[in-house]
Amino acid sequence: MGEFYLNKARILIVEDEAVVAENLEKVITDCGYEVVGRAASADDAVNAAIELKPDLILMDIVLLGEKNGIDASHEIKEKIDIPIIFLTAYSNLELIDRAKSVEPYAYIIKPFQDRQLFASIEMALYKIQMARKLEESEERYHRMVANVPGMVYQFVLHPDGSMALPFVSESCRELFGIGYKELVQDANVLLDLIHPDDRHRFYRSVADSAKSLSPWEWEGRGVVSGEERWFRCVSCPARQANGDVLWDGLIIEITERKVAENRIEEEYHRAEFYIDLMSHDINNINQVTRGYLELLLKMPDLPSKSRKYAETALDHVRKSAEIISNMKTLSMVRSGELEIGGIDIYPAFVSAVETVKSQSRDIRINSNITKGRYFIRGNALLFNVFSNLLNNAAKFDGHDIVEIDVDISPAGDDWRLEFKDRGRGIRESYKKIIFNRLERAGESAQGSGLGLTIVKHIIESYGGKVWVEDRVKGDRAQGSNFIVLLPKGD
């Protein structure tokens, strides 16, 4: 139904007295309306309404024949929705009560003044216009709700603890196999679908949200047609004047997501098992192998060629142990097993320096890091950051004497650490991916192991950053500068 201009409204007159009908038509026309027809009986009124489809009907209650205006109005309402104003010379209360069942827009007692008739018509047409706008708005709302991927709902918690669903969208049938009328009549039909093991948590979360009026979010299982499914509810509560708490929200099914999450969790635990297996069993094998190789190398009469083979084997055993250790460290970072708190940088740095300098090469590390002055938010894995960065610098420095400069300085809310080496440098394109082990497969440039990937994950778990630049800007052959930002701590 479209809008119409009030002064162009088309009106049907139903009046069995010709003189009165003639007078009505004149008044209505003088007011600027259009009279599309006249009828004197109930049956004629019904036929004229269906044929002419007027915007408004002026209906006399008492008409010629067995049927009156109220009967005619009921028939018209059943076939076509046309607003009606009743006209009558009677003010009988019983008659007025019967007329109310048609929901007329006005009720005018004869005789009436022209001004009274005009005001009643204008008011009725205005109400019609507003009602049609509301109807169009509701239609748009229902179309919008129908396109939402889930069930839109209103959920009420009464002061006595009972619950109700004043509104649910029709998608409830697709989600739960239940029609919206059934849910609106009895909210327990839906509540009974909650998995028994999740009901306590559901009611607890509703009570907490109602008490604090905080947004309500809940994920849980439902049993629909004997099948277990997962659902997510999100909504915002508001307390009503009568003490009710009303939530407007959305329910979506998340079964596929939960199945995927469970599968990922299973794979994660399986990966953890393999890591533990490598960390323990394979590491034990490495330890035994390493022990025998070291005993072999202590034999004074070992041929030089055999000694070379034994040293090569021992070097690979050490690398194997390093890989296992790195994998375990990376697993710990990703799982968040270690809590983060305020720590002093100095002890971890000193331990890393001692470890790196224990190598047979001449490694000299210059630093301005001192004890009790530089604190960050971190944990015991900070040692792995320093040892990997220092080892990486030493590993790719071909000089007889390895020199590494480590400087620390404030940078806003962070401490800025720079690890400057004099190695062979890193080409520009490789700087962007050097911390990502997966992207570096097959690369033979500096830092091809897991060490730098571990550094990146640990630093980011602290809320920091790491990147690499040339030690001398524009001349990568002069070495690299690994820059680390670590958030300051207490």
User: What's the rounded mean pLDDT across residues 353-369?
Assistant: 89
Give the span between the Cα atoms of 390 and 392, in whole angstroms: 5
pLDDT for 221 beyond 90: yes
Strands across the sheet with 414-420, in order? 362-367, 401-411, 414-420, 475-487, 465-472
Amino acid letter, 247 = W
The C-alpha atoms of residue 437 and residue 452 are separated, in whole angstroms, by: 8
User: Could you give the percent of the chain with pLDDT greater than 90?
Assistant: 39
User: Please, what CATH class does the domain formed by 340-487 belong to?
Assistant: alpha beta
Closest Cα partner for 385 from 280, 472, 482?
482
464 DSSP 8-state letter: -
For 401, phi then psi, to 5°, come to -110, 120
User: Which of 225, 245, 244 lies closest to 235, judged by CA?
Assistant: 245
CA separation, residue 437 to residues 304, 387, 389, 441 (Å): 37, 18, 15, 7
* Residues 382-399, mean pLDDT to the nearest whole number: 90
| Mean pLDDT (whole number) for 186-195 | 93
pLDDT at position 140: 67
SS3 223: strand
CB count within 10 Å of CB 199 equals 14
What mean pLDDT value characterizes the chain?
A: 85
Instruction: Indicate whether 423 pLDDT > 60.
Output: yes
Q: What are phi and psi of 283, to 5 degrees?
A: -65, -35
379 phi/psi in degrees, rounded to 5: -155, -165
Q: How many other C-beta atoms are found inside a 10 Å radius of the C-beta of residue 213?
A: 12
Buried/exposed code over 84-95 (b: 16+ C-beta within 10 A; e: otherwise)? bbbbbeeeeeeb
Q: In CATH, what number does 6-144 get?
A: 3.40.50.2300
Of 5 and 478, which is predicted with more confidence? 478
CA–CA gap between residue 13 and residue 22 (Å, rounded): 10
Residues 384 and 451: beta-carbon distance below 8 Å: no
Residue whose C-alpha is closest to residue 106's, from 82, 124, 79: 124
Q: How confident is the model at residue 215 (pLDDT cuts 50, 70, 90)?
A: very high
Report the distance separating Cα 484 and Cα 452, nearest Å: 12
- Give yes or no for residue 5 having a pLDDT over 50: no
> Residue 449: what pLDDT?
57
The two structure tokens encoding residue 389: 């960065």
The predicted-structure confidence for 111-131, as pLDDT tens digits, reads as follows: 777 887 888 888 888 877 777
| 444: confidence class by pLDDT, cuts 50, 70, 90 | very low
Among the CATH numbers 3.30.450.20, 3.40.920.10, 3.30.450.40, 3.40.190.10, which is that of 151-253?
Answer: 3.30.450.20
Contact in structure between 147 and 141 (CB atoms under 8 Å) = no
Q: For 139-165, what is each residue's pLDDT tens digit?
A: 666 666 566 678 888 999 999 999 999
Reduce the DSSP state of residue 412 to 3 states and report it: coil
pLDDT tens digits, residue range 24-65? 888 888 888 899 999 999 999 999 999 999 989 998 888 888
Q: What is the structure's pLDDT at 268?
A: 73
Strand order in the sheet with 227-239: 163-168, 151-157, 245-253, 227-239, 216-224
Rounded (10°) CA dihedral 283, 285, 287, 292: -160
Domain locations in the chain as residue ranges: 6-144, 151-253, 259-334, 340-487
Q: Are 178 and 189 in contact (CB under 8 A)?
A: yes
Radius of gyration over alpha carbons of the chain, in Å? Answer: 42
Residue 454, class by beta-carbon neighbours within 10 Å (0-12 exposed, 13-18 middle, 19+ buried)? Answer: buried
**DSSP letter for each residue of 55-85:** SEEEEESS-BSS--HHHHHHHHHHH----EE
pLDDT of residue 165: 93
Q: 3-state DSSP helix/strand/coil percent for the chain, to nearest 5? A: 45, 25, 30
Residue with tokens 């269906």: 50
Is the pLDDT at 416 greater than 90? The verdict is yes
What is the C-alpha end-to-end distance of the chain, expressed in Å? 70
Cβ contacts of 128 within 8 Å, gap of 6 or more? 55, 56, 83, 105
Q: What's the pLDDT at 16?
A: 87
Region 225-241 average pLDDT:
92
Q: Would you state the pLDDT for residue 443?
A: 43
Q: What is the dihedral of CA 167, 171, 175, 179, to 10 degrees?
A: 60
Q: Could you tell me which residues come within 8 angstroms of residue 62 by beta carbon, excluding any fewer than 6 positions away?
A: 16, 68, 69, 88, 89, 90
Q: Please determine, for residue 440, whether its predicted confidence score (pLDDT) is greater than 70.
A: no
Q: Identify the pLDDT of residue 146.
A: 63
pLDDT for residue 290 is more than 90: no
Report the C-alpha gap between 85 and 124 in whole angstroms.
Answer: 8
Rounded average pLDDT over 277-287:
74
82-86, 188-192, 443-447: least confidently modelled range: 443-447
- pLDDT score at 127: 79
